[in-house]
Structure 1
Amino acid sequence: MANKVRIIGGEWRSRLLRFEDVPGLRPTPGRVRETLFNWLQYDIAGSRCLDLYAGSGALGFEAASRGAKEIVQVESDATACKNLRANAAALGSNRNRIVEKEVERFLSGPSDAYDVVFLDPPFAKNLVLTTCRLLEQNGWLADPARIYVEAEAGLALEGLPDNWELLKYKTAGEVAYRLFARHLQSA
């Protein structure tokens, strides 16, 4: 286990998340996480979070460290899920629930509304728009909800739900990251 990511703030500040290599795994860089959680500083405490394509778990564990009351981390890779469970145990977290399942299958099942969603799918697999539509159509988002989307810098996000408002946008190298607010659709 040579890979590690440091939690930036909150209860577990400076604690390390350790994980084995998984093909396609790209933990969100520290400076991007710091910017994201600055954007979300008034939204995280007491929130219910959904971490899709959880990978290293950096986003979900950072949210828990900063006071989210519940985090569901969805990941299909068995090794990544083993790492997530080990990190939750090492931190003594009872707020992180790990679900080993394909994200599309998970979002097609019974839904529950979340306040904050982290969406960081593997690059070059065309998963962003499908996942965003499933979140909106299948009742996974509270009103209002915040949705963080991390994707390739060149990916055009055309076709997102009409009731999603882009709040923030930045790039870091080959990565673009955006924060959206979801509002109720008017009848």
Structure 2
Amino acid sequence: MAPPRMALVNAARRGAPGRIRIIAGSLRNSRLDVADVPGLRPTAERLRETLFNWLAPSIEGARVLDLCAGTGALGIEALSRGAASVQFVEREARVARAIEQNLARLKQTGGAVAALDAQVFLRGTARQYDLVLLDPPFALGLWDALAQQLEQGGWLSTAAWIYVESPRAPTPALPANWRLQRESHAGDARGALYRRG
């Protein structure tokens, strides 16, 4: 069940400009400006920290796809911790511009932003990624469709990692060869790390 609209709006208020910080790496404690857009739901700091602790041995040099990027905090955290490149995909033009501005301010040349709907982006020419950050707006219920596009469209390297953020229940129906490695929770959100097998 999708969370009520008010919960999404409250999440957006919690992610007001200056409230999101990069946790570790070369950009540690840098602040990200966040566009004031209803429904924008930044990943909780605790989930981000847990995810990148899990990924610590694998993030250096990784090619990353941040789908439904929102604030861009996940992808910028990946750059901070040594990812080679991050492709951000965000359909809201104002939010995509905010990511570009944060990348420029932080002098991050390894990030590129596509102001496109994620499903439209995945209908384009595939490039293989080592890590995909899959965190679509909860109200849209896009996990299953995006996961199938990623798997069938050639977007994933042989042993890619896929981070899926979703409500605690129900669990998204993901490709059978995505093997759950770890999961954690923060409030109503579930953060789960899968490995393509």
Please indicate the TM-score interval, normalised by the length of the shorter structure. Answer: over 0.9
Provide the residue aligned with 1:95 in structure 2: 110
Q: Deviations over 1:42-84 (max 9, x none)?
A: 1110000000000100000000000000100000001101100
Choose between structure 1 and 2: higher helix proportion.
2
**Runs of 5+ unmatched residues, structure 2:** 1-14
Q: CA deviation at 1:120?
A: 0.6
CA distance in 2, matches of 1:25, 1:162: 30
Q: CA deviation at 1:2?
A: 4.3
Aligned partner of 2:84: which letter? K
Aligned partner of 1:147: which letter? I
Matched, 1:117 2:132: yes
SS in 1 for 2:130: strand
> For residues 30-41 of structure 1, what are the structure 2 equivalents within 5 Å?
30-41=45-56
Choose between structure 1 and 2: higher strand proportion.
1
CA distance in 1, matches of 2:17, 2:145: 30
Q: Which consecutive aligned stretches of 4+ in structure 1 deviate over 3 angstroms post-superposition?
A: none
CA distance in 2, matches of 1:146, 1:2: 30
Provide the residue aligned with 1:15 in structure 2: 30
Matched, 1:84 2:82: no
Give me the TM-score of the superposition, normalised by structure 2.
0.90
Q: RMSD in angstroms over aligned alpha carbons? A: 1.1
Which residue of 181, 193, 196 maps to 1:167? 181
Q: CA deviation at 1:156?
A: 2.3
Q: Is the 8 A contact 2:44 2:186 kept in 1?
A: no
Give me the TM-score of the superposition, normalised by structure 1.
0.95
**24-33 or 132-141, which moves further after superposition?**
24-33
**Runs of 5+ unmatched residues, structure 1:** none
